[in-house]
Chains A and B, each alone.
Chain A
Amino acid sequence: MSGSAVAAHGAVARAGQDPAVPLLSVENLTKHFAVKGGWLNRSGGLVQAVDDVSFNVRSGETLGVVGESGCGKSTTARLIMHLIARDSGRISFAGRLVGAPHGLSRRDLHRQMQMVFQDSYASLNPRLPVATSIAFAPFIHGLGKAAALKRAMQLLEAVGLDPLQFANRYPHELSGGQRQRINIARALALEPRLVILDEAVSALDKSIEAQVLNLLVDLKAHFDLTYIFISHDLNVVRYISDRVMVMYLGKVVEIGPVHRIYRSPQHPYTQALLSAMPSMDPRRRTLRAPLSGDPPNPISPPSGCRFRTRCPFAEQVCEAVPPSLLAVAKSGAVACHMRVAGSGHSRADKAVAH
């Protein structure tokens, strides 16, 4: 395949885009990991890392994903990228099912969707000059060697690194911020439409983090990108996202527009998460911790609503029935019995909605 073919492929896919079809659609995605242990490694239980997760990503938006460690946000990203195999669920990209006969192949998917990881050093080949690392994927996907290197040079320029100065350096010769710029350039080398940023700025110092966030905003506009931005930093997610998805123990508990989530969170966990943020203002310090204890072990999550063991509003219905993610009046969706009329929770509206 020649270079022009690579470019033409992207152009065709972009032109055929129906605005009503979400760029990425995830339905009932599930992944349970078996835990080794017990008698002769037979019964260790299952980590329910991602359990029945569904969401859409619209073309051109940034979807922020937040949650504490073990909530399944990184596993979700890896499942979407097909870095690990899912147990069940359907993933479609631009209306085409991934991995199905007549659907999108994994190879095609990776041309459309790329990922940037937290550890900037571990995600680069230490034995390749950074320009070669960036050029590698276009070369594998059929671009000529010279053309691939030329693209690498253009991308170095685009991420704010002087190609003459940086092209032949090795990863260990760069600072953390510079390496993360290289990783971003590498992710953009196939001209993807969707980039998954998994804690991509979390390891950087604050002054460098701001530089990289500005770069991400610029690149998004310049290359017409869509982002899935995964982070534990609620301030950064608020800054960069259009919509936010909140996860807890492998489940989506709430999803909605960023302003609605931060101003009027509907799920008690989202509320707790937001009020646990340090205050930044010494005159208005936090006086009470919103939750006690740590998140429970995902190996045997609580029955019903997984948050009920830490939720101050938990009632019998929360133990018995897992809440489903339902649309709320204000926009977005929430999985909480208190938000469903007639659910049996004392704080829910008694009347059943029509």
Chain B
Amino acid sequence: MSKEPVVTVEHLSVRFVGRDASVAAVNDVSFGVDAGKVLAILGESGSGKSVTLRALLRLLPPRTRVEGRIRVAGHDMTRLDEAGLRMVRGSKVAMIFQEPMSALDPVFSIGVQIAETIVRHEGVSYHVANRRALELLDMVQIPSAARRLKSYPHELSGGMRQRAMIALALSCRPQLLLADEPTTALDVTVQIQIILLLRQLQQNLDMAVVFVTHDVGVAAEVADQIAVMYAGRFVELGPAEAVIGSPAHPYTAALLTSTVVGSAFGKRLEAIPGMPPDLRALPVGCSFQPRCRFAEDRCRSAVPPEFAYAGAHMTRCLRVAAGEVALPGPNLGERSEVPTFPSHFGEDP
């Protein structure tokens, strides 16, 4: 048990079937996350990152075709019935969302919502559950926790609401936490607080985390592994330092050079031409091929399989795997010049 990853996904495909067309939202995605590790799925809107996350909990609309194997905390998620799913959701696997205001119930205080979850899943009394709720609010560093238990979601600030949602998610000590852009709606000074909190809790509780984001910076702050998703496929998967420091797929490289960081200032940005493909009609072959400056004829003939690259890295690029193209790394450059805070006033450089 201890050796088995908390979540294993093999050849996951998700298709939304409609009357006129079917949308290939996720195509042949495989990954595993061990206890105590964070996988960040990085992708732009419509790349299928949130659908992948929801598929892990079977939170998809009825007209959806899901193929592949999903094992979460020892359960085969594709075989579980509704009762089984209810048991796994919340207790073994929990999820946090971008917008806590719509994820929390507006008519109950956060203390009641947390206690209810504990009572449902663990069968303890409300007295015990309330005590746990208080501990949880302390754990997510909500000041004056006893008073905050009685607060309703609308009475909390954005950052506090996000902390309350994290407390709710952790109420039954899940083995796996799914995070869907949990810091995107927050201001930058609050975002970093939530990132640090999640990092600390994940390590203390030895949880596996799958963290979906569109922000390279957030992924770099939280992830052990980064998966880069494009048009429903993982085009690259590897250790965070490797993916950001020496990307192994042209899309990742282009994404990093078109993101404004470091010493890009004053230069023209290398934008990726064109736009992401229509998921109803994916291009033949590699889905990034129409926008890729390294594309050749064989990129257009078949979907590239997953290649092992430089040890722990996976890439779906034929040419990178064959060692034919050298991709530029990002220019991370100038962060060291930003003074650490609080700096010492009075001594001007």
Hey, which bits of chain A sit against chain B, CB under 8 A?
68-69, 175, 177, 205-211, 213-214, 217, 232-236, 238-239, 262-265, 268, 271-295, 312-313, 330, 338, 347, 349
Inter-chain contacts of B201 with A (CB < 8 A): none
Please give me the residue from chain A that is nearest to B44 by CB atom.
A205
Inter-chain contacts of B215 with A (CB < 8 A): 278
Selected from B44, B214, B261, B270, the residue in CB contact (under 8 A) with A280 is B261
A175-B275, A280-B330, A282-B240 are contacts. A236–B260 as well, Cβ < 8 Å?
Answer: yes
Asked if B188 and A286 sit within 8 Å, CB to CB, the answer is no
Interface residue range, chain B? 35 or more
A268-B342, A294-B160, A313-B345 are contacts. A278–B217 as well, Cβ < 8 Å?
Answer: yes
Q: List 27 A-B contacts (CB under 8 A).
A: A68-B189, A175-B275, A205-B45, A207-B255, A210-B258, A210-B259, A214-B271, A217-B268, A233-B260, A264-B349, A265-B339, A268-B342, A273-B189, A275-B339, A276-B188, A277-B188, A277-B217, A278-B217, A278-B221, A279-B335, A280-B261, A282-B223, A286-B196, A289-B192, A290-B192, A292-B193, A313-B345
Taking the closest CB of chain B, its distance from the CB of A335, in whole angstroms, is 14
A217-B268, A239-B264, A283-B245 known; 7 new pairs, CB 8 Å cut-off, are: A205-B45, A206-B255, A206-B258, A206-B259, A264-B349, A271-B339, A347-B346
Selected from A175, A207, A217, A280, the residue in CB contact (under 8 A) with B244 is A280
Please give me the residue from chain A that is nearest to B340 by CB atom.
A275
Inter-chain contacts of B218 with A (CB < 8 A): 278
Give bound CA distance, A263 to B337, whole Å.
6
Taking the closest CB of chain A, its distance from the CB of B191, in whole angstroms, is 7
Hey, which bits of chain B sit against chain A, CB under 8 A?
44-45, 143, 157-160, 187-193, 195-196, 214-218, 220-221, 223, 240-241, 244-245, 254-255, 258-262, 264-265, 268-273, 275-276, 330, 332, 335-343, 345-346, 348-349
Asked if B335 and A68 sit within 8 Å, CB to CB, the answer is no
Q: Looking at A210, A232, A278, A338, which has the most chain B CB atoms within 10 Å of its CB?
A: A278
Inter-chain contacts of B187 with A (CB < 8 A): 68-69, 232, 294-295
Taking the closest CB of chain B, its distance from the CB of A91, in whole angstroms, is 28
Inter-chain contacts of B160 with A (CB < 8 A): 294
Taking the closest CB of chain B, its distance from the CB of A140, in whole angstroms, is 32
Give bound CA distance, A288 to B199, whole Å.
12
Asked if B337 and A281 sit within 8 Å, CB to CB, the answer is no
Asked if B44 and A294 sit within 8 Å, CB to CB, the answer is no
Asked if A281 and B255 sit within 8 Å, CB to CB, the answer is no
- Closest A-B pairs by Cβ, 5 of them: A278-B217, A210-B258, A210-B271, A68-B187, A205-B44
Give bound CA distance, A3 to B290, whole Å.
43
Selected from B45, B143, B189, B269, the residue in CB contact (under 8 A) with A210 is B269
Inter-chain contacts of A330 with B (CB < 8 A): 348
Q: Looking at B264, B265, B338, which has the most chain A CB atoms within 10 Å of its CB?
A: B338
Asked if A285 and B190 sit within 8 Å, CB to CB, the answer is no
Give bound CA distance, A279 to B264, whole Å.
15
Give bound CA distance, A282 to B195, whole Å.
13
Inter-chain contacts of A289 with B (CB < 8 A): 189, 192-193, 196
Asked if A276 and B191 sit within 8 Å, CB to CB, the answer is yes
Please give me the residue from chain A that is nearest to B291 by CB atom.
A207
Inter-chain contacts of B217 with A (CB < 8 A): 277-280
Please give me the residue from chain B that is nearest to A206 by CB atom.
B259
Inter-chain contacts of B191 with A (CB < 8 A): 276, 278
Inter-chain contacts of B220 with A (CB < 8 A): 278-282, 285
Inter-chain contacts of A282 with B (CB < 8 A): 220-221, 223, 240-241, 244-245
Give bound CA distance, A277 to B330, whole Å.
17
Asked if B221 and A313 sit within 8 Å, CB to CB, the answer is no
Taking the closest CB of chain A, its distance from the CB of B141, in whole angstroms, is 9
Inter-chain contacts of A208 with B (CB < 8 A): 271, 275
Inter-chain contacts of A232 with B (CB < 8 A): 187-188
Selected from A239, A272, A295, the residue in CB contact (under 8 A) with B260 is A239
Please give me the residue from chain B that is nearest to A310 by CB atom.
B189
Inter-chain contacts of A292 with B (CB < 8 A): 193
Inter-chain contacts of B341 with A (CB < 8 A): 268, 271-272, 274-275, 290
Give bound CA distance, A209 to B348, whole Å.
36
Asked if B272 and A276 sit within 8 Å, CB to CB, the answer is no
Please give me the residue from chain A that is nearest to B193 by CB atom.
A289
Please give me the residue from chain A that is nearest to B346 by CB atom.
A347
Q: Looking at B189, B268, B269, which has the most chain A CB atoms within 10 Å of its CB?
A: B189
Please give me the residue from chain A that is nearest to B337 by CB atom.
A263
Inter-chain contacts of A285 with B (CB < 8 A): 220-221
Selected from B241, B254, B255, B265, the residue in CB contact (under 8 A) with A283 is B241
A280-B335, A282-B240 are contacts. A214–B345 as well, Cβ < 8 Å?
Answer: no
Inter-chain contacts of B158 with A (CB < 8 A): 294
Taking the closest CB of chain A, its distance from the CB of B60, in whole angstroms, is 23
Asked if B189 and A235 sit within 8 Å, CB to CB, the answer is no
Inter-chain contacts of A69 with B (CB < 8 A): 187
Selected from B192, B193, B272, B276, the residue in CB contact (under 8 A) with A278 is B192
Selected from A205, A238, A272, A290, the residue in CB contact (under 8 A) with B265 is A238
Inter-chain contacts of A238 with B (CB < 8 A): 260, 265
Asked if B272 and A210 sit within 8 Å, CB to CB, the answer is yes
Please give me the residue from chain A that is nearest to B331 by CB atom.
A280
A276-B189, A279-B335, A280-B335 are contacts. A286–B271 as well, Cβ < 8 Å?
Answer: no
Inter-chain contacts of B332 with A (CB < 8 A): 280-281
Give bound CA distance, A206 to B269, whole Å.
11
Please give me the residue from chain A that is nearest to B43 by CB atom.
A205
A272-B341, A290-B189, A347-B346 are contacts. A280–B258 as well, Cβ < 8 Å?
Answer: no
Inter-chain contacts of B349 with A (CB < 8 A): 264
Inter-chain contacts of A291 with B (CB < 8 A): 189, 193
Asked if B196 and A288 sit within 8 Å, CB to CB, the answer is yes
Please give me the residue from chain B that is nearest to A67 by CB atom.
B187
A175-B275, A232-B188, A275-B339 are contacts. A294–B268 as well, Cβ < 8 Å?
Answer: no
Selected from B196, B269, B276, B342, the residue in CB contact (under 8 A) with A213 is B269
Inter-chain contacts of A271 with B (CB < 8 A): 339, 341-343
